[in-house]
Chains A and B, each alone.
Chain A
Amino acid sequence: MQTAEDAYSAAALDHLTRPRNPGTLAEPSGTGADANPSCGDRTTITLRVDGGRIAEMRFRTFGCTAAIAAASVLTELAGGLPVDEAAQLEPADILNALGGLPPRKEPCALMAIGALRAALIDARVRAST
């Protein structure tokens, strides 16, 4: 029988059932969002920068298993990183951390990265003004 376990990696399913860092920060250094207009999924990331590093990060995702897992794992990958390193993260890093996503779900990793990059740009703009 084809079950969720066959379609998604154990890591992705773990992020679905135990999302890491869900929510929004009250006073973020930056906020970024990205959406997939074709399916209506969207992710919002808020983060707090301290000493050039991402000190805290939260995600909100309205979407499928892959969209939730991608944003959730990204908070683990990017949390604590220097901002310039976080800005270099790519969808492939999310796919590696999750042990892959079904091919047609790979755009969900791009959406999470898009939200992170938007939040980092927002933090940089806000810091410079």
Chain B
Amino acid sequence: MRRVYLDHAATTPVDPEVAELMAQVLREVPGNPSSIYAEGRRARALVDRARGEVAGAIGADPAEIVFTSGGTEADNLALRGVLKAREGEADGIVTTAIEHHAVLDTAHDLEAHGQARVTVLLVDRTGRVSPDAVRAALDDRTAIVSVMHGNNEIGTLQPIGLIGAICRERGIAFHSDAVQTVGALDIDVRALPVDLLSVNAHKFYGPKGVGALYVRRGTRIATVQTGGGQEKGRRTGTENVAGIAGLGAAMRIAATKRVAESARQARLRDALIAGIRRTIPDATLTGHPSDRLPNNASFCFSGTQGEALVVSLDLEGFSASSGSACTSGDTEPSHVLLALGLERELAQGSLRLTVGRDTTDADVEALVAALARIVARLRAASGTPVPA
């Protein structure tokens, strides 16, 4: 059966050019970038080139890019690194209820160990955090504000320019997890007042297990792991040369495709939303109606449960995900869906569809038709009256 992959927010397939480059690096560049002889210099050159590619794509200086093992490590480094650098001076973390666990759990872990005071800001029903709420939460001991750029579940974009400007006025470090938006939206740190920005290669057709943290020059940040001192001591450990080369190439390719591809994906997203609303009129769109990731269509369907939606779609050849996993024992609709103020039972019927470079109009039409049948069947089984 032909599969239609509609879970690009979870991960994207590696671009063939990226895969080819990485294979070549693994085969032909055995050196350690820290070695001063020829093999090492060759590896170093690849890492340097990738650093330039990542920096160039977001308007940064190459020295401001720190390679990591992915988005989670970048988020950890941002929060833990800034808190550690400000130890004894500032300990406040201000963040939002819809952050990725990599941010929220890190903040709460720091708090649990007495290393931070955490303020979690609520969002409105569209998933937006108010810049005024950020301003009101700041105090003299706030060390860092962390607000994600685009939400991975519901797609809502945050006003990070406004929030960053507020932080800059107060001299407070501003971090944004931009894992969902790098490669999809125009991000230029020369114009955007962000001090730390998390990047994850596998969200834009690069490999898994590699990412980066942009650290604006002058931002006070300490290392959180100790060792050989790579990445100017900010993230020690022998560089993942092939992965970093892949990240750089993926970033460069994404930058060339971005404008046309994001517009094309936004059109497919809008077709998905319109098609689902036509065939399932009481579907609840989650996230912001217009200010959302160009590839994200997320919904809740009353009378259905997310796991049954995902399994039913899988049987018909569609890959999608739900923010309400049922593992019978510890099931909760995701913290993001609950933060929107959705009724718990409605939040259980969540479905996230995220299109990508390989998604076609025909895929969208097929999904809309299959989903309407599946929702009707699950509602018949649950005895949910369908509003006229």
Tell me if chain B binds chain A. Answer: yes
| B308 lies within 8 A of A107 (CB) | no
Stretch from A37-45, A48-56, A86-94, A117-125 that touches the partner: A37-45
Using a CB-CB cutoff of 8 Å, which residues 51-68 of chain A contact chain B?
A: 59-68
Stretch from B33-41, B69-77, B309-317 that touches the partner: B309-317
Within the complex, the shortest CB–CB distance from A32 to chain B, in Å, comes to 15
Q: Is A77 an interface residue (CB 8 A)?
A: no
| B307 lies within 8 A of A65 (CB) | yes
Among A17, A40, A67, residue most surrounded by chain B Cβ atoms (within 10 Å): A40
User: For the complex, what is the distance from the CA of A57 to the CA of B220, rounded to whole Å?
Assistant: 68
Within the complex, the shortest CB–CB distance from B185 to chain A, in Å, comes to 30
A residues within 8 A CB of B384? 62
Contact of B381 among A5, A13, A22, A104 (CB under 8 A): A22
Q: Is A25 an interface residue (CB 8 A)?
A: no
Contact of A60 among B315, B330, B381 (CB under 8 A): B381
Using a CB-CB cutoff of 8 Å, which residues 1-50 of chain A contact chain B?
A: 3-5, 7-8, 13, 16-17, 19, 22-24, 36, 38-41, 44
Within the complex, the shortest CB–CB distance from A6 to chain B, in Å, comes to 10
Q: Is A108 an interface residue (CB 8 A)?
A: yes
| B382 lies within 8 A of A61 (CB) | yes
Known: A4-B311, A17-B315, A40-B348. A22 touches B331 (CB 8 A): no
| B311 lies within 8 A of A19 (CB) | no
Within the complex, the shortest CB–CB distance from B63 to chain A, in Å, comes to 41
Known: A16-B308, A65-B308. A39 touches B314 (CB 8 A): no
Summed over the interface, the residue pairs from A and B with CB atoms below 8 Å come to a total of 83
A residues within 8 A CB of B344? 40
| B382 lies within 8 A of A62 (CB) | yes
Stretch from B87-95, B254-262, B321-329 that touches the partner: B321-329
| B329 lies within 8 A of A64 (CB) | no
Known: A22-B381, A40-B348, A104-B329. A8 touches B303 (CB 8 A): no
Q: Is the interface of B mostly helix, strand, loop or mixed?
A: helix
Q: Is B114 an interface residue (CB 8 A)?
A: no
| B330 lies within 8 A of A38 (CB) | yes
| B328 lies within 8 A of A36 (CB) | yes
Within the complex, the shortest CB–CB distance from A55 to chain B, in Å, comes to 21
Known: A22-B381, A61-B381. A38 touches B312 (CB 8 A): no
| B329 lies within 8 A of A60 (CB) | no
B residues within 8 A CB of A59? 381
B residues within 8 A CB of A22? 380-381, 383
Known: A22-B381, A60-B382, A61-B382. A17 touches B312 (CB 8 A): yes
| B311 lies within 8 A of A41 (CB) | no
Q: Is B68 an interface residue (CB 8 A)?
A: no
Within the complex, the shortest CB–CB distance from A113 to chain B, in Å, comes to 15
User: For the complex, what is the distance from the CA of A23 to the CA of B384, rounded to whole Å?
Assistant: 10
Q: Is B305 an interface residue (CB 8 A)?
A: yes
| A64 lies within 8 A of B381 (CB) | no
| B383 lies within 8 A of A68 (CB) | no
Contact of A64 among B307, B314, B330 (CB under 8 A): B307
A residues within 8 A CB of B326? 39, 41, 63-64
A residues within 8 A CB of B327? 39, 104
Q: Is B345 an interface residue (CB 8 A)?
A: yes
Within the complex, the shortest CB–CB distance from B324 to chain A, in Å, comes to 9
User: For the complex, what is the distance from the CA of A61 to the CA of B307, rounded to whole Å?
Assistant: 13
User: For the complex, what is the distance from the CA of A5 to the CA of B311, rounded to whole Å?
Assistant: 9
Within the complex, the shortest CB–CB distance from B306 to chain A, in Å, comes to 8
Within the complex, the shortest CB–CB distance from A105 to chain B, in Å, comes to 5
B residues within 8 A CB of A39? 326-329, 331
User: For the complex, what is the distance from the CA of A108 to the CA of B328, rounded to whole Å?
Assistant: 8
User: For the complex, what is the distance from the CA of A104 to the CA of B325, rounded to whole Å?
Assistant: 12
Binary per-residue interface labels of chain A (74-85) against chain B in the complex, 1 for a CB within 8 Å, 0 otherwise? 000000000000
Within the complex, the shortest CB–CB distance from A8 to chain B, in Å, comes to 7
| 19 A–B contacts from the bound complex (CB under 8 Å) | A4-B311, A13-B315, A16-B308, A17-B312, A17-B377, A19-B380, A22-B383, A23-B380, A38-B329, A38-B330, A39-B326, A41-B326, A60-B383, A63-B305, A64-B326, A66-B328, A104-B328, A106-B328, A108-B328
Known: A3-B314, A5-B315, A24-B383. 11 other contacts (CB 8 A): A16-B311, A17-B315, A22-B380, A23-B380, A38-B329, A40-B345, A61-B382, A62-B305, A65-B307, A105-B328, A107-B329
Residues of A bordering B, CB below 8 Å: 3-5, 7-8, 13, 16-17, 19, 22-24, 36, 38-41, 44, 59-68, 72, 104-108
Which 8 pairs across A and B sit closest by C-beta, in order of nearness? A39-B331, A60-B383, A4-B314, A62-B382, A64-B307, A64-B326, A4-B311, A65-B311
